[in-house]
């Protein structure tokens, strides 16, 4: 069965195909189109995200089952709890989004390439300026950015996109802070997209396509604030960890 094509000249508000009806086992639901902010928001509301190689057509994915983490579901090892309690770091949010996404797009320790293209960086930076995309930033005590993550918040669902670290545990600290924030703010779940063993060790579980769609329908429909997260993050008590 041929995959549906989203034409470049189509209205960015046009609906995506239903991911539950995709004939592709890997979760590819469409190809083509562009990264117009309204098209991106439309995609995430349907549980679809872009993932493609630089120079190729935009590919739109919704893998099933879906990797998700509940706000209270992150596994904190005894050693990592000590790291959190020591507090040898400073947390911020939405203060250097472009620097975070650029770091996420940088070379990996395994020398693999990045899927975050120049067009994707521009598109998510625009969503950040619109108040939908957010970054959690970890700085050392001298103010240097040492880790972080970014993603989108729609309703009571957070769609995590990528994270990076320049020092041990820095990206895990960002994720732990994110989970604490999402729990405090009443979010339903964090979408982690694709399962891997590392995410499973952190507490990520798999939801069927049907259950994920039901969670989206509930969470996306709930009202949530749009704008910078900095003040809300600073209001959290990050000195207390379980």
Q: For the segment 160-195, what is each residue's pLDDT rounded down to a tens digit?
A: 999 999 999 999 999 999 999 999 999 999 999 998
| CB neighbour class for 174 (10 Å; exposed up to 12, middle 13-18, buried from 19) | buried
Q: For the segment 24-38, what is each residue's pLDDT rounded down to a tens digit?
A: 788 999 999 999 999
CATH number corresponding to 67-234: 3.40.630.70
CATH 3.30.70.3550 assigned to domain 5-63? The reply is yes
What mean pLDDT is predicted for residues 102-122?
77
pTM for the full predicted model: 0.93
Please tell me the predicted confidence (pLDDT) of residue 113: 47
Share of the chain above pLDDT 90, in %: 74
* Domain edges within the chain: 5-63, 67-234
HEC profile for 118-173?
A: HHHHHHHHHHHHCCCEEEEEEECCCCCEEEEEEEEEECCEEEEEEEEECCCCHHHH
Please tell me the predicted confidence (pLDDT) of residue 208: 95
């Amino acid at each position: 069965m041929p995959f549906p094509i989203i034409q470049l000249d189509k209205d960015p508000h046009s609906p995506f195909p239903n991911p539950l009806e995709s004939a592709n086992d890997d979760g590819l639901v469409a190809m083509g189109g562009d990264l117009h902010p309204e098209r991106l928001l439309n995609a995430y509301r349907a549980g679809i995200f872009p993932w493609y190689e630089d120079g190729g057509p935009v590919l739109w994915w919704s893998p099933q089952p879906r990797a998700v983490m509940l706000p209270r579901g992150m596994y904190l090892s005894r050693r990592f709890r000590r790291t959190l309690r020591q507090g040898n770091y400073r947390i911020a949010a939405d203060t250097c989004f472009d620097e975070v996404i650029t770091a996420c797009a940088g070379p990996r320790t395994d020398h693999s390439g990045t899927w975050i293209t120049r067009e994707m960086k521009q598109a998510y930076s625009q969503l950040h300026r619109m108040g939908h995309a957010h970054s959690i930033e970890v700085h050392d005590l001298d103010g240097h950015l040492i880790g972080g993550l970014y993603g989108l918040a729609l309703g009571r669902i957070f769609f995590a996109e990528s994270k990076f670290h320049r020092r041990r545990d820095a990206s895990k600290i960002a994720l732990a802070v994110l989970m604490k924030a999402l729990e405090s703010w009443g979010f339903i779940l964090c979408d982690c997209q694709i399962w891997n063993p590392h995410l499973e060790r952190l507490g990520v579980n798999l939801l069927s396509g049907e259950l994920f769609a039901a969670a989206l329908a509930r969470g996306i429909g709930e009202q949530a604030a749009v704008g910078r997260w900095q003040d809300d993050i600073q209001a959290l008590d990050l000195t207390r960890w379980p």
